[in-house]
Every structure is written in C-alpha cells, then in structure tokens.
Chains A and B, each alone.
Chain A
C-alpha cells in the first residue's frame, strides 16, 4: 500500500539521517517504528507523511510508493514534489508537539476533529456523524464543545489522533502518540486503531521503546543511527537484544535505581495539612478535580510518587509545592517556610519544578543559557551560573549541545535540558510532572540514577507518573489520587 526505499536522506548539508532503510506497510498491518532518541524514526515517519523537506534543502535518494504511484528521488533539483493535499487524503499523520498541529481555526474540539474532512468537502451532516463516532471511540464526547486550546496535554493528544482517525485514511502515521496519555486513554486509542486496521488501514506508530499493548501481529522496524537494526515480529523483537541500541521495552523497570530505604529522620522537607483547592469554573467545561483534604509529609532522602488517572489532581498537587497554585484551605510548608502570598519565584532556590509539557518551559536561545537561567535569576553571578549549568548538562549527558537552540533538539533531549535547568538551580526538593513520559530507555535510566543520587545526597523528590514500572522500582512510596483525594498509600 505504501512503501519506502531510502538509500540515503540528509537534511540540508548534514550527515545522512537515514541510510538503507526499507519499509513497506500492507493494508491492515500494524508497524512499530522503534528507536532511541536520534535514531531517525521521526525523519522516517515524516517521509511517509509526504513531508520530504526537499524545498528546505533536504536530499533524498530513493523512492516512495503510495498505491500505484511511485516517486523516484535522485537528489537533483528536478526531483518530484509531493502534493500535500492529495497525499494527506490517503496518509494521515499526527506529529509530535500538539500545539503546532492545532488549526487555530476551530473554537471547539468537534470543529478541530472535523478540520481535515471539512477541507476535503465532506458534507456537513456526514461530517458531524463521523466526528461523533470517533469521539465515542476515543472517549472524547464530553470534550466536543471545549476550546481545544484549553485542553490538558493528554486530551489534546487524543483530539489530534481523533482528527487523523476520522479521515479513515489508507495509512495512519503516528509519531510517538502515547506521550502523556494515561493507561485508559492508551487503551482507548489502541482500540480505535484496531477498528481502523480491521477496515484495512495500515498503521505506523513510532515509539522510543517496544510497546506493551501493541497487537500480537505487529511488526517492528527498529532503527539505530539512521540504519535498520531489526525488522520482524514484535514477539521476536523483545528477545532480539535491542537494548544495546537503547531500545527497551515499555513496562520494564529501570536497572540503575540503587534506592535505599530513607532514614525518614529529621524534620519534614514538605508538609501539607488538610489542603483543599478548587479551580474556577470554565463555562461549558466539565468540573476539573481540585484537591480535597490532602495530608502529606516528605522527608529528606525520600522519593514519593503521585499516581492515578488523568485529571485526578496529581499536577494540581505538585503545583502547590512551589506556589504555582495556592491552597484554598489548609497549609503547605516547604523547608519550614509556610507558603502564603510570597511570589512564586521566591521558592525556586528550594523547589525545582519540571512541567509536564517541556515546550512550556524552554524559553532561552541556547541550551546553556536555558540551563543557566535559574541560577542567574536566583542570585548566582554570570560565571557561577555558567559553571553550574555546564555541570548540570554534564549530569544529563548534554554538554555537546550547549550552544544549540533548545527547539532544534529532539523531544528526549529537550526533556533532559528541562531537567538540567532544574538541577542547576540546586533545589533540595524536586517536583517532577511525568518525568519519564516519552523518554527512551537510556534517558529513563539517566533520570532514575539522578533521582536516586539526589535522594542519597539528602534531597527529596515528589513526582507524578503513569509509569508504574518506573515508580515501583525508583520511589519509596506512592500515593494514589482520585478526584482530588488520596485514596490509597503504599510502596
């Protein structure tokens, strides 16, 4: 149905991003494109989506075949250009980075989902029917009237997947679609993909790790350094030793944990007493869970996980720890300081915060400036801030890219830059929102090791996560939240 023969592909004068890669997707087939950060999988899915980048100086030697149309590329200026409108009628694509994919023309989720069909002139009545069907399949029905710009990361991701699925394409290409989705949402998206496959759509999903929930018949093409290192059934891929290429399996625990039981002695670093909070009502939106009667103590040397479904109040609780949100009732004390009306920025020396959406928090023009920002504004001199930034970048293994613009890095590296920014400021409490979402195996190991080292040095960590295997291996205890309450606590 679609096949790709890439002898070589390079971005504007750079070293080849892909070499000798072949991929063919048959009707109803599920292909997992697995690879660690920088393996070339995003480049490959963009080629499938018809985004060759030839106008931006990229060079492709090879061919792309869609149906009975074969396009041959020889790296010359006369190479064919792909008509994006016609291509996308058959190949639907969901990229990474949800914000850039919003049409900005839609005031409701329903309109956003319908955007592609409306562009192709599908009659209004039929359009609404198809949107409703997809919304039911993906659990989006309660969100159809919401403003897409005001959705949570997971909800937005599901909206964009729905917008692709609704087009009933011959091929559906998804670039790391499960980042930030909770287990229920992953299952809903997986079920919708199965329905599409049943109707003959070929599905290509890129992922940093081998998936746990993919269909048994799924085929894996694994990439490392832009070259194929495995092509075969998922079951075989799991035992093919792909770890040596940084390709782990989702659901596997990290190996470099080394977490000791904390002494739990000394005064608590964080104390929450009967904390309640409610969000102001947004018109037309369902009620968002706040917090109700939360009590929590975190001691130096402790790593605590907040777990529970999307919207259970995990991020809301985290944002109370550095004053981004203020409790409506009860008290929050960090390192002996009661959080009242002090400016949020005044807590940064004590509490470091990693946002769920990385792109929300990167705002400088080089990686080094980004990481040095925290130390600089919390009082370190320029030289000292630079030194601390360099040290933090070394800890996450990113010294080599310190002069690069953060936006030029891949997702995993951007995530590590955000973590380095937090480390460089030197807070004793790390507050991390989904620190492992979308990471490849090596980066996940790095995060596990950093957390353990921070706890051993007397710091504390509170993290929200859907990554059960990571939490089970790395944290000392977990709190399960639901509808703004702690419903269970344990190891």
Chain B
C-alpha cells in the first residue's frame, strides 16, 4: 500500500535536502546515527515500498560501505591503536571508527534521497511548481527527465519484441541477455532522437513557448501553512548550521 500523503512533495523534497545539509554540517557520528535510526529507518518502513527502497539502498550503499571499510579499516594512515598488523595493511581502531562514521553518513544521504525519490508524487510535484510560478522550462526538464525512464523502458521492450518476432532469440544466460541489450541500444537511441526532434516541433505547436504564466490540470495541494513551514524550516536549519559552525570551529 502506498503511504498516505501528509505533506506536499515540495515540502518533502525540501525537508530531505535540508536533512542532508544538516548531516553534512553537524559532523558527529551520534547525530548521523540518530537521523538514521529515528528518521530514515521509520521513513523507509512506513513508505509502503520498504522492499524496493531497501533493495535500492543495498545496491547503492553496499559497494560504497564495503570499499570504505576496506580502505579506511586497513589503510588509515593516522591509525595508532592497532588491532591487527598484516604488514602493508593495518587494522586500526581509528580507521574502523572513521569508516563507520563515513558509512553512517553515506547511509543517511542515500536513505533520505532514495526514499524521497522513490515515493515522490511527480505529477503533484510538477503541479505545485507550476502553481508556484516556477519557470516552465525547468519544470519540463524535471518532468521529462523523470517521465523518460518508463518511456525508454517501454520503447526498449517494444523493440525487443519486434526483434524476437523476426527471429532474434534471447536465452536465459547472462551473455545472451547482454547481446539482447546491445541489439536494442542503437535502435532505441535513434528512435528516441527521432521522437525528440518531432516532440520539439509538437511542443511548439501546442503552445509550450507561450509567455503567459502556465497553469496546471492537477489541483494545487500546497497550503499556506506548508509554505510558512518551508520558510521556517529553511530559516531554522540555516540558524542551526550557523550556530553549530560558530560553536565548533576553533579560533
């Protein structure tokens, strides 16, 4: 079940971005861990897409965490408390702590951004941006970038079906699958370019370059309260960051 929406997508997106800023500025592992356990984890669990987000998180952060652990755990130059000496590599407490801090922060970034991206209602986001009077070309770039992914997937499927209907056999092994992928790439790219050139004309023919403020078919779900909340959020995070930097930076 998709989660019940409480906030407008712009509020969600801004909150996610500010959380990333906060974790970057407040350079403490306790804070990162707190955000991870109290913020990111519940958000993933209650997103209604916990499995898909979990899988995406594992794919994105897994290799990063492993490489960070190997790099810093074994080769941390400032490591003094040595747990295991392997000659050229030394496992140090400092290295492991550094890898853990980096790992927690990476997990927070990836968790916040992936959860937001994978649960965001794009139509509502574009509608809100339009209702708020954002530049229509910017809104188009965001909308078509997101809309292009299912479009490309669909075109790819159609070309594969056409090639199969004409005798191209795609087996189950990884090599024939790779061959199938390569066979679809050229016609897919050419087809998308042809579509794009036609789309350019058709956008013009549908009045996209008009200069009046654009309106939206999707109702405005944004509220005055949320707009105030967003301003306060930016202000609050800005202040917190400033205070933190003044207090913690020596001199």
Which residues does A use to contact B, with CB under 8 Å?
49-51, 84-85, 88-89, 92-93, 95, 97, 99-108, 110-111, 114-124, 127-128, 131, 147, 149-150, 163, 322, 324, 343-346, 348-349, 352-353, 355, 357, 359-365, 373-374, 377-378, 407, 421-422, 425
Contacts and interface: CB of A to CB of B under 8 A. Distances in A.
B206 A103 contact: yes
Contact of A124 (B167, B194, B219): B219
- Chain B CB within 10 A, most for which of A108, A110, A343, A425: A343
Contact of B171 (A102, A343, A365): A343
Nearest to A95: B202
Contact of A355 (B143, B165, B211): B165
B166 A373 contact: yes
A364 B184 CA distance: 10
B140 interface: yes
Contacts of A353: 165-166
A379 B130 CA distance: 55
B158 to A, nearest CB: 4
A102 B203 CA distance: 9
Contacts of B131: 124
A115 B206 contact: yes
Interface of B: 122-123, 126, 130-131, 136, 139-140, 143-144, 147-148, 150-151, 154, 158-159, 161-171, 186-187, 190-191, 194-195, 197-199, 201-220
Contact of B167 (A107, A110, A364, A425): A425
B199 A149 contact: no
Nearest to B157: A360
Contacts of A116: 206-207
Contact of A377 (B167, B214, B215): B167
Nearest to B219: A124
Contact of B214 (A92, A121, A128, A343): A121
Contacts of A100: 194-195, 197-199, 202
Contacts of B150: 147, 149
Which 5 pairs show the lowest CB-CB distances between chains A and B?
Answer: A363-B187, A100-B198, A348-B167, A84-B204, A345-B169
27 contacts: A84-B204, A88-B207, A95-B205, A100-B198, A101-B198, A103-B203, A103-B208, A107-B123, A120-B207, A124-B215, A127-B215, A131-B217, A163-B206, A322-B165, A324-B161, A344-B169, A345-B169, A349-B167, A363-B159, A363-B162, A363-B186, A373-B166, A377-B163, A377-B169, A378-B167, A407-B190, A425-B166
A417 to B, nearest CB: 12
Contacts of B213: 121
A360 B187 CA distance: 10
B146 to A, nearest CB: 9
Contacts of B162: 355, 360-363
Given A100-B195, A116-B207, A127-B215, 12 more contacts: A89-B207, A107-B123, A116-B206, A119-B207, A119-B210, A121-B213, A123-B215, A322-B165, A359-B191, A365-B190, A377-B163, A377-B166
Contacts of A128: 217
Contacts of B201: 51, 95
Nearest to B167: A348
A444 B40 CA distance: 62
Given A88-B206, A97-B198, A374 B167 contact: yes
A176 B138 CA distance: 33
A79 B211 CA distance: 24
- Chain A CB within 10 A, most for which of B165, B201, B203, B208: B165
Contacts of A49: 205
B155 to A, nearest CB: 8
Nearest to A46: B201
A377 B208 contact: no
A85 B210 contact: yes
Contacts of A425: 166-167
Contact of A150 (B154, B168, B198, B217): B154
Contacts of A421: 166
Nearest to A144: B217
Nearest to A422: B166
A344 B166 CA distance: 9
A97 B198 CA distance: 9
Nearest to B123: A107
Nearest to B154: A149
B187 A85 contact: no
A374 B162 CA distance: 10
A298 B49 CA distance: 48
Contacts of A97: 198
A110 B218 CA distance: 9
B139 to A, nearest CB: 8
Given A93-B205, A104-B147, A349-B167, A118 B214 contact: yes
A50 B161 contact: no
Contacts of B144: 104-105
B52 to A, nearest CB: 15
Nearest to B130: A118
B165 A120 contact: no
B195 A363 contact: no
A281 to B, nearest CB: 15
A348 B166 contact: yes
B214 A119 contact: yes
A100 B154 CA distance: 14
Contact of A343 (B148, B154, B169): B169
A364 B151 CA distance: 20
A124 B217 contact: yes
A102 B196 CA distance: 10
B184 to A, nearest CB: 8
Nearest to A360: B158
A150 B191 CA distance: 17
B121 to A, nearest CB: 9
A363 B191 contact: yes
B198 A374 contact: no
A214 B156 CA distance: 38
Contacts of B202: 95, 100-101
Given A102-B199, A107-B123, A361-B162, A121 B210 contact: yes
B161 A360 contact: yes
Contacts of B216: 118, 124
B202 to A, nearest CB: 5
Contacts of A107: 122-123, 147
Contacts of A378: 166-167
Given A324-B164, A343-B169, A124 B220 contact: yes
A373 to B, nearest CB: 6
- Chain A CB within 10 A, most for which of B131, B144, B194: B194
B150 to A, nearest CB: 6
